[in-house]
Structure 1
Protein backbone atom coordinates (compact mmCIF):
# COMPACT_ATOMS: atom_id res chain seq x y z
CA UNK A 1 0.00 0.00 0.00
CA UNK A 2 2.82 2.39 0.88
CA UNK A 3 4.50 1.80 -2.51
CA UNK A 4 1.20 2.52 -4.22
CA UNK A 5 0.82 5.84 -2.38
CA UNK A 6 4.40 6.82 -3.22
CA UNK A 7 3.71 5.97 -6.86
CA UNK A 8 0.50 8.07 -6.87
CA UNK A 9 2.42 10.95 -5.27
CA UNK A 10 5.09 10.70 -7.95
CA UNK A 11 2.46 10.74 -10.71
CA UNK A 12 0.69 13.75 -9.16
CA UNK A 13 3.99 15.66 -8.92
CA UNK A 14 4.78 14.80 -12.53
CA UNK A 15 1.36 16.03 -13.68
CA UNK A 16 1.72 19.25 -11.67
CA UNK A 17 5.21 19.86 -13.06
CA UNK A 18 4.03 19.23 -16.61
CA UNK A 19 1.18 21.67 -16.19
CA UNK A 20 3.62 24.33 -15.02
CA UNK A 21 5.93 23.96 -18.02
CA UNK A 22 3.94 26.42 -20.11
CA UNK A 23 1.72 29.41 -19.69
CA UNK A 24 -1.49 29.66 -21.68
CA UNK A 25 -3.51 32.89 -21.79
CA UNK A 26 -6.87 33.38 -23.44
CA UNK A 27 -6.87 36.38 -25.76
CA UNK A 28 -9.49 39.12 -25.83
CA UNK A 29 -8.87 39.38 -29.58
CA UNK A 30 -9.25 37.36 -32.77
CA UNK A 31 -6.53 35.02 -33.93
CA UNK A 32 -5.21 37.48 -36.53
CA UNK A 33 -5.37 40.47 -34.18
CA UNK A 34 -3.55 38.58 -31.43
CA UNK A 35 -0.83 37.62 -33.90
CA UNK A 36 -0.59 41.19 -35.20
CA UNK A 37 -0.44 42.66 -31.69
CA UNK A 38 2.40 40.29 -30.75
CA UNK A 39 4.45 41.02 -33.87
CA UNK A 40 3.80 44.76 -33.50
CA UNK A 41 4.99 44.76 -29.90
CA UNK A 42 8.10 42.79 -30.86
CA UNK A 43 8.82 45.44 -33.50
CA UNK A 44 8.29 48.27 -31.02
CA UNK A 45 10.79 46.60 -28.67
CA UNK A 46 13.29 46.07 -31.52
CA UNK A 47 13.20 42.32 -30.96
CA UNK A 48 14.05 40.27 -34.01
CA UNK A 49 11.43 37.93 -35.44
CA UNK A 50 13.40 34.98 -36.78
CA UNK A 51 10.44 33.10 -38.23
CA UNK A 52 6.68 32.86 -38.33
CA UNK A 53 5.42 29.34 -38.91
CA UNK A 54 1.79 29.10 -39.96
CA UNK A 55 0.96 25.49 -39.10
CA UNK A 56 -2.61 25.96 -40.40
CA UNK A 57 -1.37 27.02 -43.85
CA UNK A 58 1.22 24.24 -43.96
CA UNK A 59 -1.43 21.66 -43.07
CA UNK A 60 -3.52 22.95 -45.97
CA UNK A 61 -0.63 22.46 -48.39
CA UNK A 62 -0.48 18.84 -47.23
CA UNK A 63 -4.22 18.44 -47.86
CA UNK A 64 -5.02 18.38 -44.13
CA UNK A 65 -7.10 20.59 -41.90
CA UNK A 66 -5.92 22.28 -38.76
CA UNK A 67 -7.46 25.06 -36.71
CA UNK A 68 -5.53 28.37 -36.86
CA UNK A 69 -2.11 27.75 -35.31
CA UNK A 70 0.87 30.10 -35.67
CA UNK A 71 4.29 29.92 -34.05
CA UNK A 72 6.28 33.14 -33.73
CA UNK A 73 9.99 32.66 -33.08
CA UNK A 74 11.81 35.70 -31.76
CA UNK A 75 14.70 36.93 -29.68
CA UNK A 76 17.85 38.93 -29.37
CA UNK A 77 21.18 37.37 -30.30
CA UNK A 78 22.84 39.69 -27.79
CA UNK A 79 20.69 38.34 -24.94
CA UNK A 80 20.40 34.72 -26.07
CA UNK A 81 24.15 34.44 -26.46
CA UNK A 82 24.58 35.35 -22.79
CA UNK A 83 22.48 32.32 -21.86
CA UNK A 84 24.29 30.06 -24.33
CA UNK A 85 27.67 31.17 -22.93
CA UNK A 86 26.60 29.65 -19.63
CA UNK A 87 24.95 26.53 -21.08
CA UNK A 88 25.36 26.09 -24.81
CA UNK A 89 22.71 23.38 -25.07
CA UNK A 90 19.98 25.93 -24.27
CA UNK A 91 20.31 26.70 -27.97
CA UNK A 92 17.83 23.83 -28.42
CA UNK A 93 15.15 26.08 -26.91
CA UNK A 94 16.34 29.45 -28.19
CA UNK A 95 15.20 31.67 -29.77
CA UNK A 96 12.05 32.11 -27.72
CA UNK A 97 8.66 31.12 -29.08
CA UNK A 98 5.01 32.00 -28.62
CA UNK A 99 2.22 29.91 -30.09
CA UNK A 100 -1.15 31.42 -31.03
CA UNK A 101 -4.04 29.01 -31.52
CA UNK A 102 -7.77 29.10 -32.01
CA UNK A 103 -9.84 26.28 -30.57
CA UNK A 104 -13.06 24.70 -31.83
CA UNK A 105 -15.09 27.19 -29.77
CA UNK A 106 -13.43 30.19 -31.41
CA UNK A 107 -11.35 31.04 -28.35
CA UNK A 108 -7.86 32.30 -29.06
CA UNK A 109 -4.92 31.29 -26.89
CA UNK A 110 -1.31 32.42 -26.56
CA UNK A 111 1.02 29.80 -25.12
CA UNK A 112 4.69 30.00 -24.18
CA UNK A 113 7.31 28.35 -22.03
CA UNK A 114 8.44 30.80 -19.33
CA UNK A 115 12.17 31.40 -19.24
CA UNK A 116 12.27 30.25 -15.61
CA UNK A 117 11.43 26.74 -16.88
CA UNK A 118 14.39 26.93 -19.26
CA UNK A 119 16.57 28.19 -16.42
CA UNK A 120 15.60 25.15 -14.35
CA UNK A 121 15.88 22.68 -17.24
CA UNK A 122 19.37 23.84 -18.15
CA UNK A 123 20.53 24.54 -14.58
CA UNK A 124 21.30 28.18 -15.36
CA UNK A 125 22.25 30.49 -12.55
CA UNK A 126 19.60 33.02 -11.52
CA UNK A 127 20.44 36.31 -13.17
CA UNK A 128 19.14 39.70 -14.20
CA UNK A 129 19.06 38.37 -17.79
CA UNK A 130 16.64 35.59 -16.83
CA UNK A 131 14.54 38.03 -14.80
CA UNK A 132 14.37 40.54 -17.66
CA UNK A 133 13.43 37.88 -20.21
CA UNK A 134 10.66 36.71 -17.90
CA UNK A 135 9.32 40.25 -17.58
CA UNK A 136 9.49 40.65 -21.36
CA UNK A 137 7.54 37.43 -21.92
CA UNK A 138 4.83 38.63 -19.55
CA UNK A 139 4.68 42.03 -21.23
CA UNK A 140 4.44 40.52 -24.72
CA UNK A 141 1.70 38.14 -23.64
CA UNK A 142 -0.26 40.91 -21.93
CA UNK A 143 -0.03 43.31 -24.88
CA UNK A 144 -0.96 40.59 -27.37
CA UNK A 145 -3.95 39.20 -25.50
CA UNK A 146 -5.52 41.75 -23.20
CA UNK A 147 -7.67 44.74 -24.06
CA UNK A 148 -5.97 46.68 -21.26
CA UNK A 149 -2.57 45.47 -22.52
CA UNK A 150 -0.44 47.75 -20.35
Structure 2
Protein backbone atom coordinates (compact mmCIF):
# COMPACT_ATOMS: atom_id res chain seq x y z
CA UNK A 1 0.00 0.00 0.00
CA UNK A 2 1.49 3.34 -1.02
CA UNK A 3 1.50 6.22 1.42
CA UNK A 4 -1.01 8.83 0.39
CA UNK A 5 -3.81 6.33 -0.25
CA UNK A 6 -7.09 6.83 1.66
CA UNK A 7 -6.25 3.99 4.08
CA UNK A 8 -2.81 5.39 4.82
CA UNK A 9 -4.33 8.80 5.44
CA UNK A 10 -6.84 7.27 7.83
CA UNK A 11 -4.08 5.53 9.75
CA UNK A 12 -2.15 8.77 10.10
CA UNK A 13 -5.30 10.56 11.30
CA UNK A 14 -5.99 7.85 13.87
CA UNK A 15 -2.38 7.94 15.09
CA UNK A 16 -2.55 11.68 15.58
CA UNK A 17 -5.94 11.51 17.27
CA UNK A 18 -5.00 8.78 19.75
CA UNK A 19 -2.94 10.93 22.19
CA UNK A 20 -5.65 13.60 22.16
CA UNK A 21 -8.37 11.04 22.88
CA UNK A 22 -6.29 9.47 25.66
CA UNK A 23 -5.71 12.83 27.33
CA UNK A 24 -9.39 13.73 27.04
CA UNK A 25 -10.25 10.43 28.74
CA UNK A 26 -7.78 11.12 31.54
CA UNK A 27 -9.09 14.67 31.87
CA UNK A 28 -12.60 13.28 32.28
CA UNK A 29 -11.37 10.91 35.01
CA UNK A 30 -9.49 13.70 36.78
CA UNK A 31 -12.59 15.90 36.63
CA UNK A 32 -14.90 13.15 37.85
CA UNK A 33 -12.71 12.33 40.85
CA UNK A 34 -12.42 15.92 41.97
CA UNK A 35 -16.11 16.63 41.49
CA UNK A 36 -16.94 13.52 43.53
CA UNK A 37 -14.71 14.74 46.37
CA UNK A 38 -16.22 18.20 46.19
CA UNK A 39 -19.75 16.82 46.32
CA UNK A 40 -18.97 14.59 49.28
CA UNK A 41 -17.18 17.42 51.09
CA UNK A 42 -20.12 19.77 50.62
CA UNK A 43 -22.56 17.12 51.81
CA UNK A 44 -20.31 16.50 54.80
CA UNK A 45 -20.24 20.14 55.85
CA UNK A 46 -16.76 21.12 54.67
CA UNK A 47 -16.49 24.60 53.18
CA UNK A 48 -14.81 25.05 49.80
CA UNK A 49 -11.97 27.59 50.01
CA UNK A 50 -10.89 27.38 46.39
CA UNK A 51 -10.97 24.91 43.48
CA UNK A 52 -8.25 25.35 40.88
CA UNK A 53 -7.99 23.78 37.44
CA UNK A 54 -4.25 23.92 36.85
CA UNK A 55 -4.24 22.61 33.29
CA UNK A 56 -7.05 24.75 31.93
CA UNK A 57 -5.68 27.89 33.59
CA UNK A 58 -2.23 27.09 32.19
CA UNK A 59 -3.65 26.51 28.69
CA UNK A 60 -5.39 29.87 28.85
CA UNK A 61 -2.02 31.43 29.62
CA UNK A 62 -0.25 29.60 26.78
CA UNK A 63 1.38 26.78 28.80
CA UNK A 64 0.70 23.07 28.35
CA UNK A 65 0.54 20.44 31.07
CA UNK A 66 -1.46 17.34 31.87
CA UNK A 67 -4.86 17.41 33.59
CA UNK A 68 -4.62 18.54 37.20
CA UNK A 69 -7.11 20.02 39.68
CA UNK A 70 -6.71 20.87 43.36
CA UNK A 71 -9.42 21.41 45.95
CA UNK A 72 -8.86 23.23 49.25
CA UNK A 73 -11.49 22.62 51.93
CA UNK A 74 -11.99 24.05 55.38
CA UNK A 75 -13.37 23.02 58.75
CA UNK A 76 -12.11 25.46 61.41
CA UNK A 77 -13.17 23.08 64.17
CA UNK A 78 -10.56 20.64 62.84
CA UNK A 79 -7.81 23.13 61.91
CA UNK A 80 -7.95 25.32 65.02
CA UNK A 81 -6.67 22.74 67.57
CA UNK A 82 -3.72 22.00 65.27
CA UNK A 83 -2.93 25.71 64.98
CA UNK A 84 -3.09 26.03 68.76
CA UNK A 85 -0.23 23.52 68.91
CA UNK A 86 1.82 25.12 66.12
CA UNK A 87 0.70 28.22 64.26
CA UNK A 88 3.20 27.61 61.45
CA UNK A 89 1.20 24.52 60.44
CA UNK A 90 -1.15 27.01 58.80
CA UNK A 91 0.99 26.97 55.67
CA UNK A 92 -0.23 23.37 55.17
CA UNK A 93 -3.84 23.93 56.21
CA UNK A 94 -6.72 23.56 55.59
CA UNK A 95 -7.48 20.27 53.80
CA UNK A 96 -5.99 19.72 50.32
CA UNK A 97 -6.85 17.12 47.67
CA UNK A 98 -5.25 16.89 44.22
CA UNK A 99 -6.62 14.95 41.23
CA UNK A 100 -4.10 14.70 38.38
CA UNK A 101 -2.74 12.81 35.39
CA UNK A 102 0.00 10.47 36.57
CA UNK A 103 1.55 8.97 33.43
CA UNK A 104 -1.82 8.53 31.74
CA UNK A 105 -3.77 7.46 34.81
CA UNK A 106 -5.96 9.70 36.97
CA UNK A 107 -4.61 9.72 40.53
CA UNK A 108 -5.81 11.40 43.73
CA UNK A 109 -3.50 12.41 46.57
CA UNK A 110 -4.06 14.39 49.74
CA UNK A 111 -2.21 15.89 52.69
CA UNK A 112 -2.60 13.93 55.93
CA UNK A 113 -1.66 14.72 59.52
CA UNK A 114 1.60 12.75 59.28
CA UNK A 115 2.78 15.33 56.73
CA UNK A 116 1.88 18.22 59.06
CA UNK A 117 3.44 16.45 62.05
CA UNK A 118 6.76 15.81 60.31
CA UNK A 119 7.02 19.29 58.82
CA UNK A 120 5.94 21.23 61.89
CA UNK A 121 7.09 19.12 64.82
CA UNK A 122 3.61 18.07 65.93
CA UNK A 123 2.89 15.12 68.20
CA UNK A 124 0.19 12.55 67.63
CA UNK A 125 -3.00 13.89 69.16
CA UNK A 126 -6.76 13.82 69.11
CA UNK A 127 -6.57 16.84 66.79
CA UNK A 128 -4.42 14.90 64.34
CA UNK A 129 -6.68 11.87 64.47
CA UNK A 130 -9.69 14.11 63.85
CA UNK A 131 -7.94 15.69 60.87
CA UNK A 132 -7.32 12.33 59.21
CA UNK A 133 -10.76 10.95 60.08
CA UNK A 134 -12.56 13.96 58.62
CA UNK A 135 -10.88 13.67 55.24
CA UNK A 136 -11.17 9.88 55.23
CA UNK A 137 -14.94 10.25 55.63
CA UNK A 138 -15.09 12.55 52.62
CA UNK A 139 -12.98 10.30 50.40
CA UNK A 140 -15.01 7.25 51.41
CA UNK A 141 -18.27 9.05 50.67
CA UNK A 142 -16.86 10.13 47.30
CA UNK A 143 -15.88 6.53 46.56
CA UNK A 144 -12.49 7.79 45.39
CA UNK A 145 -9.28 5.82 45.83
CA UNK A 146 -6.59 8.18 47.14
CA UNK A 147 -3.15 8.10 48.73
CA UNK A 148 -1.40 10.39 51.17
CA UNK A 149 1.44 12.67 50.13
CA UNK A 150 4.92 11.26 50.81
CA UNK A 151 6.50 11.94 54.19
CA UNK A 152 9.77 10.03 53.77
CA UNK A 153 12.57 12.59 53.95
CA UNK A 154 10.41 15.17 55.68
CA UNK A 155 11.85 16.91 58.73
CA UNK A 156 10.80 19.95 60.71
CA UNK A 157 10.71 23.06 58.49
CA UNK A 158 11.53 21.03 55.37
CA UNK A 159 10.96 23.23 52.34
CA UNK A 160 9.81 26.23 54.38
CA UNK A 161 11.20 29.59 53.29
CA UNK A 162 10.95 32.44 55.78
CA UNK A 163 11.12 36.23 55.89
CA UNK A 164 10.53 38.81 58.62
CA UNK A 165 8.32 41.86 58.35
CA UNK A 166 8.94 45.15 60.11
CA UNK A 167 5.44 46.36 59.20
CA UNK A 168 2.22 45.89 61.11
CA UNK A 169 0.13 42.81 60.48
CA UNK A 170 -2.52 44.43 58.28
CA UNK A 171 0.11 46.45 56.42
CA UNK A 172 2.13 43.29 55.77
CA UNK A 173 -0.90 41.53 54.30
CA UNK A 174 -1.71 44.49 52.07
CA UNK A 175 1.87 45.01 50.90
CA UNK A 176 2.17 41.34 49.93
CA UNK A 177 -1.23 41.28 48.25
CA UNK A 178 -0.43 44.43 46.27
CA UNK A 179 2.92 43.02 45.15
CA UNK A 180 1.28 39.79 44.03
CA UNK A 181 -1.64 41.25 42.09
CA UNK A 182 0.67 43.78 40.40
CA UNK A 183 2.20 40.89 38.40
CA UNK A 184 0.29 40.45 35.16
CA UNK A 185 0.74 36.67 35.00
CA UNK A 186 -0.66 36.03 38.48
CA UNK A 187 -4.15 35.13 39.73
CA UNK A 188 -5.32 36.06 43.23
CA UNK A 189 -7.43 33.33 44.87
CA UNK A 190 -8.11 34.86 48.29
CA UNK A 191 -7.22 34.45 51.96
CA UNK A 192 -7.95 32.23 54.94
CA UNK A 193 -8.11 34.16 58.22
CA UNK A 194 -7.29 31.45 60.76
CA UNK A 195 -7.57 33.85 63.69
CA UNK A 196 -11.08 34.95 62.77
CA UNK A 197 -12.15 31.34 62.16
CA UNK A 198 -10.85 30.36 65.60
CA UNK A 199 -12.49 33.36 67.27
CA UNK A 200 -15.86 32.23 65.90
CA UNK A 201 -15.29 29.03 67.88
CA UNK A 202 -14.35 30.94 71.03
CA UNK A 203 -10.63 30.19 70.65
CA UNK A 204 -7.88 32.85 70.71
CA UNK A 205 -5.02 32.33 68.27
CA UNK A 206 -2.10 34.60 67.38
CA UNK A 207 -2.90 36.57 64.25
CA UNK A 208 -2.44 34.27 61.26
CA UNK A 209 -3.62 34.69 57.68
CA UNK A 210 -2.96 32.50 54.65
CA UNK A 211 -2.70 34.17 51.23
CA UNK A 212 -3.56 32.09 48.15
CA UNK A 213 -2.48 32.91 44.60
CA UNK A 214 -0.86 31.42 41.53
CA UNK A 215 0.77 32.04 38.18
CA UNK A 216 -0.93 29.84 35.55
CA UNK A 217 1.88 30.08 32.98
CA UNK A 218 4.95 29.68 35.24
CA UNK A 219 3.03 27.21 37.39
CA UNK A 220 2.10 25.15 34.34
CA UNK A 221 5.72 25.00 33.25
CA UNK A 222 6.86 24.02 36.75
CA UNK A 223 4.18 21.32 37.07
CA UNK A 224 4.39 19.84 33.56
CA UNK A 225 6.76 17.01 34.50
CA UNK A 226 6.08 17.25 38.24
CA UNK A 227 2.27 17.31 38.54
CA UNK A 228 2.08 16.05 42.14
CA UNK A 229 3.52 19.33 43.42
CA UNK A 230 0.14 20.84 42.61
CA UNK A 231 -0.89 19.51 46.02
CA UNK A 232 1.59 21.59 47.99
CA UNK A 233 3.08 24.29 45.79
CA UNK A 234 0.23 25.36 43.48
CA UNK A 235 -1.71 27.33 44.30
CA UNK A 236 1.07 29.17 46.04
CA UNK A 237 0.58 29.97 49.71
CA UNK A 238 2.02 32.52 52.11
CA UNK A 239 1.34 32.36 55.82
CA UNK A 240 1.69 35.65 57.69
CA UNK A 241 1.65 35.09 61.44
CA UNK A 242 2.42 36.84 64.69
CA UNK A 243 5.23 35.15 66.55
CA UNK A 244 6.53 35.60 70.09
CA UNK A 245 6.53 39.19 71.34
CA UNK A 246 4.60 40.31 68.30
CA UNK A 247 7.32 39.59 65.72
CA UNK A 248 5.78 39.13 62.29
CA UNK A 249 6.95 36.19 60.22
CA UNK A 250 6.15 35.28 56.62
CA UNK A 251 6.60 31.66 55.50
CA UNK A 252 6.01 30.02 52.12
CA UNK A 253 6.93 26.89 50.19
CA UNK A 254 10.25 26.05 48.60
CA UNK A 255 8.99 24.68 45.28
CA UNK A 256 12.24 22.89 44.43
CA UNK A 257 12.22 21.13 47.81
CA UNK A 258 8.66 19.93 47.30
CA UNK A 259 9.52 18.66 43.82
CA UNK A 260 12.36 16.68 45.38
CA UNK A 261 10.02 15.31 48.04
CA UNK A 262 7.58 13.98 45.43
CA UNK A 263 9.99 13.05 42.63
CA UNK A 264 13.49 12.84 44.08
CA UNK A 265 14.70 15.75 41.92
CA UNK A 266 13.87 19.30 40.91
CA UNK A 267 14.23 21.40 37.76
CA UNK A 268 15.29 24.87 36.71
CA UNK A 269 11.73 26.33 36.67
CA UNK A 270 11.30 25.42 40.35
CA UNK A 271 14.45 27.30 41.37
CA UNK A 272 13.56 30.22 39.14
CA UNK A 273 10.16 30.52 40.78
CA UNK A 274 11.73 30.36 44.24
CA UNK A 275 14.03 33.25 43.33
CA UNK A 276 11.18 35.26 41.83
CA UNK A 277 8.87 34.74 44.80
CA UNK A 278 11.53 35.56 47.36
CA UNK A 279 12.53 38.73 45.54
CA UNK A 280 8.89 39.83 45.24
CA UNK A 281 8.09 39.17 48.89
CA UNK A 282 11.33 40.66 50.23
CA UNK A 283 10.76 43.87 48.30
CA UNK A 284 7.17 44.10 49.55
CA UNK A 285 8.38 43.75 53.12
CA UNK A 286 11.14 46.37 52.94
Is the shorter-chain TM-score for this pair beyond 0.5, marking a shared fold? yes
Tell me how far 1:76 sits from its aligned partner: 1.2
* Alpha-carbon distance between aligned partners in 1 of 2:266 and 2:169, rounded to the nearest angstrom: 36
Alignment match, 1:3: none
Going from structure 1 to structure 2, the CA distance change for 1:62 and 1:133 (only over 3 Å counts) comes to: same
Alignment match, 1:126: 267
Q: Return the match for 1:88 from 227, 234, 250.
A: 227
RMSD over aligned Cα, in angstroms? 2.2
Residue 108 (1) aligns with residue 248 (2): yes
**Could you list the runs of 5+ residues in structure 1 that have no partner in the other structure?**
1-13
Tell me how far 1:17 sits from its aligned partner: 5.1
* Alpha-carbon distance between aligned partners in 1 of 2:283 and 2:208, rounded to the nearest angstrom: 19
State whether residues 159 and 258 of structure 2, in contact with CA within 8 Å, keep that contact through their aligned partners in structure 1.
no
State whether residues 21 and 117 of structure 1, in contact with CA within 8 Å, keep that contact through their aligned partners in structure 2.
yes
State whether residues 27 and 144 of structure 1, in contact with CA within 8 Å, keep that contact through their aligned partners in structure 2.
no
Q: Return the match for 1:24 from 138, 162, 165.
A: 162
Residue 61 (1) aligns with residue 200 (2): yes
**Could you list the runs of 5+ residues in structure 2 that have no partner in the other structure?**
1-151
* Alpha-carbon distance between aligned partners in 2 of 1:59 and 1:92, rounded to the nearest angstrom: 25
* Alpha-carbon distance between aligned partners in 2 of 1:104 and 1:19, rounded to the nearest angstrom: 18
Tell me how far 1:85 sits from its aligned partner: 2.2
Number of residues paired by the alignment? 132
Tell me how far 1:130 sits from its aligned partner: 1.7
The two structures have a TM-score, normalised by structure 1, of: 0.77
* Alpha-carbon distance between aligned partners in 2 of 1:108 and 1:122, rounded to the nearest angstrom: 30
Q: Would you identify which runs of 4 or more consecutive aligned residues in structure 1 move more than 6 Å?
A: none
State whether residues 38 and 143 of structure 1, in contact with CA within 8 Å, keep that contact through their aligned partners in structure 2.
no
* Alpha-carbon distance between aligned partners in 1 of 2:201 and 2:189, rounded to the nearest angstrom: 24
State whether residues 37 and 143 of structure 1, in contact with CA within 8 Å, keep that contact through their aligned partners in structure 2.
no
State whether residues 23 and 114 of structure 1, in contact with CA within 8 Å, keep that contact through their aligned partners in structure 2.
yes
Alignment match, 2:133: none
What SS does the corresponding residue of 1:122 show, helix, strand or coil? helix
